[in-house]
Amino acid sequence: MSPSPAETKILVTGATGFIALRLIIDLLEAGYQVRGTVRTPSRETKLREVIAKNAGADANARFEIVKVDLLNDEGWPEAVAGCTYVHHVASPLPAGPPKHEDDLIRPAREGALRCLKAASESGSVKRVVMTSSLAAVVYGHDRSDTSRVFDENDWSIPEGCPPYEKSKTLAERAAWEFVKALPEDKKIELVAINPGLVLGPVLEEDYGTSGEAVLKLMNKEYPGCPKIGWSVVDVRDVSAAHISAMTTPEASGERFCCGIEHASFRDIAESINRNFADKGIKVATRPLPDFLIRLLAIFDKTTRIVLHELGQFQTIDNSKIKRVLKWEPRSLDEMVKAMGETMIAFGLVKNG
C-alpha cells in the first residue's frame, strides 16, 4: 500500500516563485509534508504568512524551509533527504534582458543538474517533476501563422532562441540526458511540465514577471494592444499538472505541453473589459503598430524582453496532458479575472 500524504515528504525548489508557492499551498492542503528551498532565508516570514493565509494556520507545521543556491553544491543533499518526490521549479525568470545570456543559462542548467544529482543519490527520491516551459518547445521555428501546431515532440532550437528561452531549452535537454545516463542503482524518474504564459491569482504583492501583461493593460501603460501573444495557462492548473505528474505512473519519462489556446494582448484586454468594466477599469483594445512597441521598449525593460514575440504565435496541441494527466484547464476569462481581482486586492492596479 502506498504511503499516505501525511507520511510523504516532497521538496519544492524556488519556494517563493509564482508557480512554486501555489504548488506548495496545494500540496499542503492535500496533506503532504513539504520542504521548500529558498536562496534568501529572509523571505521565510513572508512565505509563512502567505501559507497560513491560504492553506490554514496549521499548514506551517508541515512545512520547512532550507537554503540552497542553483549555482552552489552546498545544501542540496540535505534538501532532498527523506523526500519521495521533488518538484524542481526554481529557474531565473527575468524582468528585463540579462547582461549576458549565461546569467540565465548557468543557473537554469546547473541548478537542474544539482537537483537531479542530489535526488539520484538520496536513496529516497522516486520521481522528479521539472518545471520546464513552452520556451523549450516552440522557439527558433517559424511561428508567423497558426498553421504550425507544436507538441511534446518539438524542441526549441537554441541557436534561434533569446536568452531566457535558450536557458529553459538547455536546462531541460541537460536534465533528460542526465537521467538517461544514470546507472541502474541510481535511477530516478523524470517528468517535464512545459507551461505557457502563466496567469491566474497572485498570492502576494511580489508576483514575479508572469503577470506583467495583465498589469500593464489594467494600469493603461499601453495605449492599445501589441501584436503579441502566448499560449496561456492558469497557475492553479500548472500546479494541478505537477501534482498529477508526480503520482501518475504513465507520466514517467514524459514531457507535457501545459497551456490552452494562443491568447493575444487584445484577447487579454477584451477579457479585462468583460470582467472589470463595471469596476471602472476599461482598457484600449486597438492594435498598436510594431514601431511604437519598439519605441516603448527603449524605455521599458519588460517590453524589451518580449519584442521577439511581435507577430508570432504559440499554437500547441494539449491533448497529451489532458489524456495522461486527466488535466482540465481553466479558460482565459477565469485566469484573467482571478489575476485582476487579486492584483486589485494587493493594490497593484492604479485604476482599481
What are the DSSP calls for 184-207, one per residue? Answer: GGG--EEEEEEE-EEES--SSS--
Would you state the pLDDT for residue 300?
84
Contact 11, 35 (CB under 8 A): yes
Q: Where are the domains of the chain?
A: 8-345
Cell numbers placing 36: 521548500
Would you state the pLDDT for residue 145?
77
Question: pLDDT tens for residues 83-106?
Answer: 999 999 999 887 777 889 999 999
Measured between alpha carbons, how far is residue 288 from residues 219, 291, 293 in Å?
A: 16, 8, 7
d(CA 174, CA 190): 12
What are the DSSP calls for 213-261, one per residue? Answer: HHHHHHTT-SSSB-S-EEEEEEHHHHHHHHHHHHH-GGGTT-EEEE--S
For residue 352, pLDDT over 70 is answered with: no
Question: pLDDT tens for residues 334-348?
Answer: 999 999 999 999 999
Q: Topology of domain 8-345, per CATH? A: Rossmann fold (3.40.50)
Please report, to the nearest 10 degrees, the dihedral formed by the alpha carbons of residues 162, 164, 165, 170 taken in order.
110
Question: pLDDT tens for residues 118-164?
Answer: 999 999 999 999 999 999 999 999 888 778 999 999 999 999 899 99
CA neighbours closer than 13 Å in the CB half-sphere of residue 90: 26
Is pTM beyond 0.75 here? yes
pLDDT-derived band at 1, boundaries 50, 70, 90? low
For residue 247, pLDDT over 70 is answered with: yes
pLDDT-derived band at 351, boundaries 50, 70, 90? low
Percent of the chain with pLDDT over 90: 82
Question: pLDDT tens for residues 300-312?
Answer: 888 888 888 888 8
d(CA 18, CA 214): 15
Residues 221-248 have a mean pLDDT of 95
Question: pLDDT tens for residues 27-40?
Answer: 999 999 999 999 98
